[in-house]
Amino acid sequence: MPIKIHRWLLVCGVGALLPVSSVLADAPNAGESRGATLCTKIPVPCEAVIAHRGASFMAPESTAPAYRLARELGADYLELDLQRTKDGQLVAIHDNTLGRNTNVAEVFPARAEAPVSAFTLAELKQLDAGSWFNAAYPERARDAYAGLPILTLDEVIDIAEGGRHRPGLYIETKVPDQFPGIEQDLREALASRGWLGEPESPAASERDRVSVADGPARVMMQTFSRASLAALEEAMPEVPRVLLLWVGEGSIEPAPSQPQGDEESLADYYARQTVASPEAYGQWLDFAKAHGAIGIGPSTIQTEHDGAFSRQFSYMELAESWMVGMAHDDGLLVHPYTVDSPADFARYQQRGVDGFFTNRPAALLEFLGQTPADPQQLLDRLGY
Ligand code: G3P
Ligand code: CA
């Protein structure tokens, strides 16, 4: 039996048809809380493969080819960062401004530094969200990436629903303080697409493909913001939630450290940041539990960053063994971000994490013992 089926059946066998609240009420004690035991009690795939901004190593982040490739590879979840346009449309884009990965400076030079919320959807749709990738990564460039548009939430849902595999959605409320009420907007948007409420068909009947979208954890919510976690709890109490972790102002209390040096990389600076104490870390777990979260999303340090692996996503170490153990003892799953290399998959797997946010779902699936299709061939087949 392929591992993909096994992983999902583990979920189906115990918790798939139970409301999240009921499985949380049966949260394990410390003696039975490790690794696979916990993920069978909470209806989320064990060893979850969460495609961070899509398969964003191979295609421009948060665009159609990135999400279509992730779906075709067999990722469990399509990850997206949710923001809201000036005219109230929900869109998938990570940065709060548009300069890094669009041509906003050419199209709207007077507003090149303006936040996403200052643009209407029609204006955002004029931007090219793909050419930056070709310039940054010529070895992975494709002509078809030039001119790719920013996607709406609806368009990401269309992609999730548009193939043989049925991945779930793992949605982050990005800079939620800038978007009051976005949690309610999201609830309405998901409900209108039939992504809330009881699944129509039990996931256990799906035996030859990813079927997360047919299970009770088809949508996962994530946020760095305590306020947004509470708002998500109010807006969608039935939807599983994960609290993302960071160290610094507004997040976990840091231990004292020196400022970033003039010659020091941001990754090296982040790597020096540590939590003030286990109690400081535990306070965030307590908050997560108090607001019904089923897990945490800690940052990680990427140790393998030569050649194809970048340090763009190397932050502070918040998934040490004792941290993972503390979360599991609290009945919380651990989905670290953002892990891309086999060496780092192995290191965190040994610590017992329950899945990964990854820009390279093909590499993670391979690491987990599957044989995903070649991403380049899939992109060809998808018409890119
Ligand atoms: O959502 C997990 C991870 O994506 C959080 O970091 O900045 O990539 O959204 P970021
Ligand atoms: Ca994110």
Domain count, the chain: 1
pLDDT of residue 115: 98
Sign of CA pseudo-dihedral 168, 174, 179, 180: positive
The pLDDT of 226-253, averaged and rounded, is 97
CA–CA distances in Å: residue 211 to residues 46, 191, 198, 356: 13, 19, 14, 18
Q: How many C-beta atoms lie closer than 10 Å to residue 22's C-beta?
A: 9
pLDDT at 365: 97
The candidate with the shortest Cα–Cα distance to 8, out of 260, 213, 313, is 213
DSSP-assigned letter for residue 83:
E
What number is the average pLDDT over the span 229-252?
96
Task: Summarize the confidence of residues 260-286 as an average pLDDT.
Answer: 96
Locate all alpha helices (DSSP H) within 173-254, ordered by sequence: 182-192, 226-235
Is residue 61 lining ligand 1, measured as CB closer than 6 Å?
A: no
52 is catalytic: yes
So what's the pLDDT on residue 184?
Answer: 98
**Is residue 94 annotated as a catalytic residue, yes or no?**
yes
The pLDDT mean for the chain works out to: 89
The answer to whether 43 and 216 have CB atoms below 8 angstroms apart is yes
In a domain, 384, yes or no: no
> Does residue 38 belong to any structural domain of this protein?
yes
pLDDT score at 164: 94
| pLDDT band with cut points at 50, 70 and 90 for residue 307 | low
Write out the H or E segment, with its range, that includes residue 219: strand 219-223
> Is 90 exceeded by the pLDDT of residue 274?
yes
Count of H helices and E strands in the chain? 16, 10
* Any domain includes 29: yes
Whole-number Å distance between alpha carbons of 105 and 113: 8
Q: Please name the residue whose Cα sits nearest to atom 7 of ligand 1.
A: 94
pLDDT of residue 300: 97
The pairing of beta strand 168-173 with beta strand 151-152: unpaired
Task: Using pLDDT thresholds of 50, 70 and 90, give the confidence band for residue 197.
Answer: confident
Domain membership of residue 251 (yes or no) is: yes
297 CB less than 6 Å from ligand 1?
A: yes
Type of residue at 186: L
pLDDT at 69 over 50: yes
CA distance linking residue 88 with residue 108, whole number of Å: 20
Q: Which domain holds residue 301?
A: 3-372
Q: Is the CB of 172 under 6 A from ligand 1?
A: yes
The answer to whether residue 362 sits within a structural domain is yes
Residue 381 lies in a domain: no
Tell me which residue has its CA closest to atom 2 in ligand 1.
337
Does residue 383 sit within a domain? no
Ligand 1 atom index nearest CA of 224: 5
- Judged by average pLDDT, the poorest of 27-41, 95-109, 134-148, 185-199 is 27-41
The CATH number linked to 29 is 3.20.20.190
Q: Give the Cα separation of 137 and 225 in Å (integer).
A: 32
Ligand located closest to 56 CA: 1
Distances (CA, A) of 60 to 34, 105, 252, 324: 36, 18, 31, 31
Flag whether pLDDT at 21 surpasses 50: no
pLDDT, tens digit, 9 for 90 and up, residues 320-366: 999 999 999 999 999 999 999 999 999 999 999 999 999 999 999 99
Give the separation between CA 215 and CA 378, rounded to whole angstroms: 26
Confidence of residue 32 (pLDDT cuts 50, 70, 90): very low
The pLDDT assigned to 35 comes to 55
Residues 161-182: pLDDT tens digits?
Answer: 999 999 999 999 999 999 999 9
pLDDT in tens, 81-111: 999 999 999 999 999 999 999 999 999 999 9
Cis peptide before 338 (omega within 30 of 0): yes
Q: Does the pLDDT of residue 13 top 50, yes or no?
A: no
- Residue 43 belongs to a domain: yes
Residues 199 and 196: their CA atoms lie apart, in Å, by 8
